[in-house]
Amino acid sequence: MAQYAPPLRDLHFVLHELLDVAGELKQLPRHAEIDQDTINAVLEEAGKFAAEVIFPLNISGDREGCTLDKATRQVSTPKGFKEAYAQYVEGGWPSLSSAPEYGGQGLPVVLNQCLFEMLNSANQAWTMYPGLGHGALECLNAHGTAEQKALYLPKLTSGEWTGTMCLTEAHCGTDLGLLRTKAEPQPDGSYKLTGEKTFISAGDHEMVPNIVHLVLARLPDAPPGIKGISLFVVPKFKVAADGSIAERNPIFCGALEEKMGIHGNCTCTINLDGASASLVGQPNKGLAAMFVMMNAARLGVGNQGLGLTEVAYQSAVAYAKDRLQMRSLTGAKAPDKAADPIIVHPDVRKMLLTARAYAEGARALAVHIALLIDKELSSDDEAVRKDCADQVALLTPIAKAFLTDNAWIATSHCMQVYGGHGYIHEWGMEQFVRDARINMIYEGTNTIQALDLLGRKVLGDNGAKLRKFGKLIAEFVEEEGTNEAMQEFVNPLADLGDKVTKLTTELGMKAFANADEVGAAAVDYLRVCGHLVFAYLFARMAKVALAHKDGGDPFYTAKLHTARFYFAKLLPETASLMRTVRSGAAPLMAMDEALF
């Protein structure tokens, strides 16, 4: 069976030793009272909820899935999901980092990040229900009217209601400019929406009395393409002026998607049959408003990749220490047993260390981004806010794509550690692989993230955001330039930084002549940048571990081993990636379509 224990020791390391989160928060008036003890207490309770309440529902929820009553058009979630959600609300977890003016606790985003890492490890399908509600809250808080905020934000903050994002349609995919859902203005200032949305996560369920759908649609006079998209709030049940639930709105689950993974989450087709709605933000400016929720979701999906990487790693390590098969190539390591545990074999260790390194690098990056968001939201220094916003913009597509690509690799490796048992449902490993695969697709495929990184975030501002991150690397390299113990980490980091600068310049020149060069290079370029970010974070983690290497704590010894493995076995991937980037668009675009 799969195993999971909250990784509190590594979370403490990242929060307190690597990033000094408590010290950083003290510079923000809103969070100046947050200290390590508060952070640790929240993490401990969050870990208990994840491990003891929702992790036991993961395999059973995957097996059972959701069901649709066609007569009532009501979806039911797997056994135990509703009760677990009630415990989640009772514990105050939905309101953890939400604004106090709507009933939130006002704690920093970085704590919410750690909570959701553990929830995603424990049960990604379940975690998507509260996760999407949090995104809807952020979007309405940024763009809703005073009336919309008063009606919806208190209930979304408390978790009494959940939310969804209804973006795409069967013929659209990522190209939302093609959507056809219509919004007809009404005499009272409201709208009636008609159309069909697809792939809607958490689209319907019985865990809460109301669901707040955020829906993209077109007004009658809307211009074509993405410039003609408006955003609307469409509750499952209409809401009276006093906040009470009124009659059913004609927005229904039309069908459940029969999908590869995340069976416990209701991914469905949503039919709108003249559903009553109100406009969010300005007409024809809906996509820009929706990006608040979409960017939050992209970071959330990266966090899903981290969560699955961690739980798969933990399970595979436990299995590898127990499973006996063959003898070590260098002689028996367990002579009293019929065979050695498979953890003695080099390739098993390579698979385990790959998953471990990708989990630890992802955790450092996810917490780093969350801290940047806290500073962007709460600093009283405008320059700090701008700098943090730029870094978050640069790192968001990397977090979404690199962490989910790595999760696919890591969960596949961890399933392989189990051999034939990994392919069997009861062990839990094949579920992690299936669940991980969707994370590379939704909230913008990883190719879309790569195009966003290279086209918008790097070339779009002539490399300004990338240079800001490069400055952090340069400063760190200069600080550690004379530290002999750090050379094995600093030298490859500095070398890769220089190579990324040169590669980016080359791509910028090519793009002027042929835009397909961006499309051809983007995916591999993002992966190179992902490794650059991980190399920087692993070098910093190694510095902390080296400072404690003589203290006898095995945690720091393991951290150093993992950093060395990353630099020796994973970072060299960048060499082949840069070669494929430089090979250009010609090998992809030269062949005539008829020859495919």
Q: Which residue in 443, 475, 488, 506 is the catalytic one?
A: 443
Amino acid identity, residue 458? V
Q: Give the H/E segment covering residue 191.
A: strand 191-200
Largest CA distance in the chain: 84
Contact 340, 322 (CB under 8 A): no
Q: Give the H/E segment covering residue 69.
A: strand 67-69
SS3 (DSSP) at 78: coil
Closest residue by Cα to residue 100 from 89, 88, 111, 108: 108
Instruction: Kindly give, in sequence order, each residue whose CB lies less than 8 Å from that of residue 130, ignoring residues fewer than 6 positions away.
Output: 85, 88, 93, 94, 119, 159, 162
Q: Tell me if residue 443 is catalytic.
A: yes
Q: Give the H/E segment covering residue 246.
A: strand 245-248
Bridge pairing between strands 230-235 and 268-280:
antiparallel
User: What is the rounded distance in angstroms from the CA atom of residue 94 to the CA atom of residue 137?
Assistant: 11
Cα–Cα distances (Å) from 371 to 305, 511, 544, in that order, read: 19, 34, 19
Q: Give the H/E segment covering residue 165.
A: strand 162-166
User: What is the rounded distance in angstroms from the CA atom of residue 395 to the CA atom of residue 466?
Assistant: 10
Structure token digits, residue 149: 């905020």
Contact 407, 308 (CB under 8 A): yes
Mind telling me the catalytic residues? 443
